[in-house]
Amino acid sequence: MLHTQEELLHIINKTITKEQFDYKPVELFEPIKYTLSLGGKHIRPLMLLMACEMFGGDINDGIYPAFGLEVFHNFTLIHDDILDNASLRRGKATVYKKWDLNRAILSGDTMFALSYDYFFRTKEEFIVPILKVFNKTAVEVCRGQQYDMNYETEKDVSIAAYIEMIRLKTAVLLGAAVKIGAIIGGAKEQDSIHIYNFAENLGIAFQLKDDILDLYSQQEVFGKETGGDIVSRKKTYLFLKACELADNELREQLVPLYLETSLEPQTKIKCVRAIFDKLKIKKVTEEEIDKYYKTALYHLDKITINKEDKASFYQFAKQLMKRDK
Amino acid sequence: MLHTQEELLHIINKTITKEQFDYKPVELFEPIKYTLSLGGKHIRPLMLLMACEMFGGDINDGIYPAFGLEVFHNFTLIHDDILDNASLRRGKATVYKKWDLNRAILSGDTMFALSYDYFFRTKEEFIVPILKVFNKTAVEVCRGQQYDMNYETEKDVSIAAYIEMIRLKTAVLLGAAVKIGAIIGGAKEQDSIHIYNFAENLGIAFQLKDDILDLYSQQEVFGKETGGDIVSRKKTYLFLKACELADNELREQLVPLYLETSLEPQTKIKCVRAIFDKLKIKKVTEEEIDKYYKTALYHLDKITINKEDKASFYQFAKQLMKRDK
């Protein structure tokens, strides 16, 4: 009998609570404890454990690698918050703002190093294969972050380049999670490729959904102001697609408006949204999301195990797509 | 017949030149190529290969792990230069100054991740043991750096705390280099402990020597202005020892003088040096260095292989101690 998602999340939370990071100097480990205490959805460790069990593995062999992924993910958040000059993360001050630049850099580095330690805490035979997957992914995540930074100032960003950026920045780590789970679960090579592709495509869909939610979700549900991407001039899928679909005249209206910084935020959001609506951008993006979602499901279908054992991943994918925040 | 130091350095340089890091985005890999092109003494890869051969290993199994250590070391330099707000490194602009903060953070992170890749490029059986040594060390180096930052503002730093800081920040990585070499060379457990202790003690001596050279070396030989540590109020071994040895009256003269920022640099250096000379700080520090050097040699003596095969490490240690820059 497989664990339910709730049971797995409970196990993940217990592990996070147990790992105290009470080392010295406290200046280094305090920000690490703080970051991990902020919570989050724990999607990566969850996906790792789900994949591990689906292929018949023991979650006791997967729990520390799963935690390692969570530590790594939180390291990337600490450094990303510096790069983005972000003040808030999960409603609390970012490490960079709560302490200072130096501590954010160094506690991030330490977290990165610590994350590797957890991949040793599994059966000997799994260590090298999972470390290879993890390490390749870590470099890809850095590359994705650099593309993201590049695109802030680049004038012409293609849709393909944008998708590649979100693939590297977000999707590959979900892919790594399930692939590591598959290795620990003893999956066949072909199945581990399919589960990777499933998660990668789901990750791209997830990230595109983020772009929609930022503008079109209900503010009460979303939990923060909508339209933030427009105010901060972020080159989202919505914007890039609008540039592609607009005729010259409309594009010459949209681009300067979008890059504008002096307009009152609500006015800017309203005007940009009007152009997006004219071009049916929400619907177009939803169709794109559906394309990635369907590709993800195709790969899940292809996995050569009982359909019942895959049920939790079908449900998980559906949930992610239905989310409204 | 073992390779000479020159031959090993030639092999290391060839490997550095061969690894081109021609990946995308260039914004990420340009700073990495730049940093590795700045040269340096390559002490860590050299020590790894020397240990590997001394214990009968094949340097072909050690060269990529050796390069991994060099990549890791250079990552720490990129981030340290941000923390120290340093403009120059090996006479060239630091990554942080040449490009910007964000690229220095992110290319450093990438370098850290890339360094792990090289530890996979050896015989399968070595990978996990050497990764465990490396990873433990990476966390220690971060801890040492945090202590170093702490001590900038802490009022009372003990000599013991200072030694522990330089042990973590510098010496353990030399220890890791020879221990990894010992693993690849097939050394007995006890011998690998001795070679680690040898390198760790040598590293502490090396770092204390740095403190002396900063003030007492001949400027023409040293290649940069002497007395920089005094100007920047760095709590070196010289200063901490002087505080310990001075009577109350002299200490009350020294401390405010040392922490002074408005004095003309040459005047400040002259006054501090006069107090150091009165307390024979140079001699006292040299005796301390000699203590660590002797402990290092004790551990080298203890290693159960032919004395001739250890000759190159005896010579290497002697060289490091005699260096004047």
Report the pLDDT value the prediction gives residue B323, as an integer from 0 to 100.
Answer: 83
Query: What does the pLDDT look like over B92-103, one tens digit per residue?
Result: 999 999 999 999
Q: Read off the tokens for A157.
A: 């960003």
Residues B67 and B211 in one domain: no
Q: DSSP 3-state assignment of A89? A: strand
Q: Amino acid identity of A24?
A: K
Residues B256 and B292 in one domain: yes
Q: Do A120 and B113 touch (CB under 8 A)?
A: no
Structural domain including B16 reads 1-187
Straight-line distance from the first to the last Cα atom of chain B, in angstroms, rounded to the nearest whole number:
31
Q: Do B112 and A112 touch (CB under 8 A)?
A: yes
Q: Do A106 and B145 touch (CB under 8 A)?
A: yes
Residues A140 and A210 in one domain: no
Decide if A107 is inside a domain.
yes
Report the pLDDT value the prediction gives residue A257, as an integer from 0 to 100.
Answer: 97
Q: Amino acid identity of B5?
A: Q
**Distance, in angstroms, between A138 CA and closest chain B CA?**
6
* CATH number of the domain within which A267 lies: 1.10.600.10
**pLDDT band at A102, cuts 50/70/90?**
very high
Decide if A137 is inside a domain.
yes
Report the pLDDT value the prediction gives residue A287, as an integer from 0 to 100.
Answer: 98
Residues of B within 8 A of A72 (CB-CB) are none
pLDDT at residue B224 tops 80: no
Residues B171 and B206 in one domain: no
Residues B124 and B215 in one domain: no
Looking at residues A237-242, what average pLDDT do you find? 98
Residues B121 and B204 in one domain: no
8 A C-beta contact, residue B71 and residue B31: no
Strand positions, DSSP E, chain A: 88-89, 92-93
**pLDDT band at A323, cuts 50/70/90?**
confident
Please report the ipTM that was assigned to this predicted complex.
0.96
pLDDT at residue A269 tops 90: yes
Residues A94 and A234 in one domain: no
Residues B221 and B105 in one domain: no
pLDDT at residue B1 tops 90: no
Residues of B within 8 A of A165 (CB-CB) are none
Decide if A264 is inside a domain.
yes
Looking at residues A85-109, what average pLDDT do you find? 95
Distance, in Å, from the CA atom of B202 to the CA atom of A285, rounded to the nearest integer, reads 61
Helix (H) or strand (E) holding B294: helix B281-302
Given B149, B172, B187, the domain boundary residue is B187
Rounded to the nearest integer, the mean pLDDT of chain A is 96
Q: How many domains does chain B have?
A: 2
Q: Do B106 and A83 touch (CB under 8 A)?
A: yes
Q: Do B146 and A25 touch (CB under 8 A)?
A: yes
pLDDT at residue B219 tops 80: no
Looking at residues B79-91, what average pLDDT do you find? 92
Residues B166 and B285 in one domain: no
Residues A142 and A4 in one domain: yes
Q: Do A24 and B83 touch (CB under 8 A)?
A: no
Decide if A261 is inside a domain.
yes
Query: What does the pLDDT look like over B20-50, one tens digit per residue?
Result: 899 999 999 999 999 999 989 999 999 999 9
Residues A129 and A199 in one domain: no
pLDDT at residue B223 tops 80: no
8 A C-beta contact, residue B160 and residue B188: no
Residues B61 and B160 in one domain: yes
Decide if A120 is inside a domain.
yes
Burial A113-143 (b: 16+ CB within 10 A, else e): bbbbbbbbebeeebbeebbebbbebbbbbbb
Query: What does the pLDDT look like over A167-220, one tens digit per residue?
Result: 999 999 999 999 999 999 999 999 999 999 999 999 999 999 999 999 998 877
Looking at residues A121-137, what average pLDDT do you find? 98
**Distance, in angstroms, between B41 CA and closest chain A CA?**
24
Given B187, B212, B232, the domain boundary residue is B187
Given B160, B187, B214, the domain boundary residue is B187
Q: Which residue of B has its CA nearest to A133?
A: B117
Rounded to the nearest integer, the mean pLDDT of chain B is 96
Q: DSSP 3-state assignment of A207? A: helix
**pLDDT band at A224, cuts 50/70/90?**
confident
Decide if A183 is inside a domain.
no
Query: What does the pLDDT look like over B108-139, one tens digit per residue?
Result: 999 999 999 999 999 999 999 999 999 999 99
Decide if A182 is inside a domain.
no
Provide φ and ψ at B35, rounded to 5°. Answer: -60, -45
Strand-pair partners of B89: B92
Decide if A323 is inside a domain.
yes
Query: What does the pLDDT look like over A5-51, one tens digit per residue?
Result: 999 999 999 999 999 899 999 999 999 999 999 989 999 999 999 99
